[in-house]
């Protein structure tokens, strides 16, 4: 479904929408997995609150640090979206971005669209399963330079599941615009459905299509196809 009303605000997913799936999975996730155990052991005292969240989420308060590390690695294998994991990944990625080992990939057409919306006075927000800290790092250290001045706000799973329409209602409330005046773009059909259920305009981005992808009459292959 393409937009029917000129949007007053835009909300963008990251993975597969404005950044390549390969970059997120093969670089970001691999970097976090490779460094996770050492990072936790080195910063155990500072991470005490996060590690306790892992224990509570698992329902096992007796887990020691090596067992918590094993849980975190399992969550990564299972692609869990638990906030303590996302927060920890963000901290590890910060280390990688600031050292120069990581650079944030963003599609050129997405960057052009973000700049165009910004010039037009349409605020652009990000909603990703990655933590707000991780999102800001991606835009600060992107291959297109520091793009943080172009982003009005960030949302992560502390707002709610991306498959729950209530999350999009909460985002609309935070943005301060009617849901019908907000355009959401994502590569995930379930997120598109949830956003539409909340009343947002929502467009499916199918950069990397699969044979089992559900058809969507308004789907686009890139941001240059937007009206």
Cβ-count burial of 89 within 10 angstroms (0-12 exposed, 13-18 middle, 19+ buried)? Answer: buried
Residue at which a domain ends, from 65, 82, 99? 99
Residue 2 domain-assigned (yes or no): no
- What stretches of the chain show up as alpha helix (H) in DSSP? 21-22, 30-42, 48-58, 65-77, 83-99, 108-119, 132-140, 165-175, 189-197
Residue 4 domain-assigned (yes or no): no
Supply the DSSP symbol for 5. S
Residue 64, pLDDT > 60, answer yes
45 and 135 share a domain? no
- Supply 73's token pair: 């690695």
pLDDT tens-digit map of 149-187: 999 999 998 999 999 999 999 999 999 999 999 999 999
Tell me if 54 sits within 8 A of 66, measured CB to CB: no
Total number of domains in the chain:
2
- CB proximity list for 107: less than 8 A, separation 6 or greater: 18, 19, 20, 207, 222, 223
Query: In the predicted model, what is the mean pLDDT of the chain?
Result: 93
Q: Which domain holds residue 84?
A: 24-99
Largest CA distance in the chain: 55
Q: How confident is the model at residue 211 (pLDDT cuts 50, 70, 90)?
A: very low
6-10, 15-19, 197-201, 206-210: range with lowest mean pLDDT:
206-210
Q: What is the CATH number of the domain that holds 145?
A: 3.40.50.1000
């Amino acid at each position: 479904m393409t937009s029917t009303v000129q949007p007053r605000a835009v909300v963008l997913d990251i993975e597969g929408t404005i950044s390549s799936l390969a970059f997120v999975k093969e670089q970001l996730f691999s970097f976090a997995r490779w460094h996770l155990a050492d990072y936790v052991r080195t910063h155990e005292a500072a991470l005490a609150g996060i590690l306790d969240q892992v224990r509570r989420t698992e329902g096992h308060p007796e887990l020691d640090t090596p067992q918590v590390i094993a849980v975190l690695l399992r969550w990564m294998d299972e692609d869990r979206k638990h906030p303590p994991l996302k927060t920890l990944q963000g901290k590890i990625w910060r280390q990688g971005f600031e050292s120069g080992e990581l650079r944030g990939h963003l599609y050129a057409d997405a960057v052009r669209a973000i700049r165009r919306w910004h010039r037009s006075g349409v605020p652009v927000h990000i909603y990703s399963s990655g933590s707000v800290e991780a999102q800001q790092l991606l835009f600060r250290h992107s291959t297109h330079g520091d793009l943080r001045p172009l982003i009005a706000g960030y949302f992560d799973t502390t707002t709610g599941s991306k498959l729950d329409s209530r999350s999009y209602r909460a985002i609309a409330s935070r943005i301060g615009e009617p849901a019908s005046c907000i355009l959401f773009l994502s590569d995930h059909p379930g997120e598109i459905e949830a956003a539409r259920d909340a009343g947002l305009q929502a467009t499916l981005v199918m950069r990397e299509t699969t044979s089992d992808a559900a058809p969507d009459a308004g789907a686009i292959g890139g941001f240059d196809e937007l009206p």
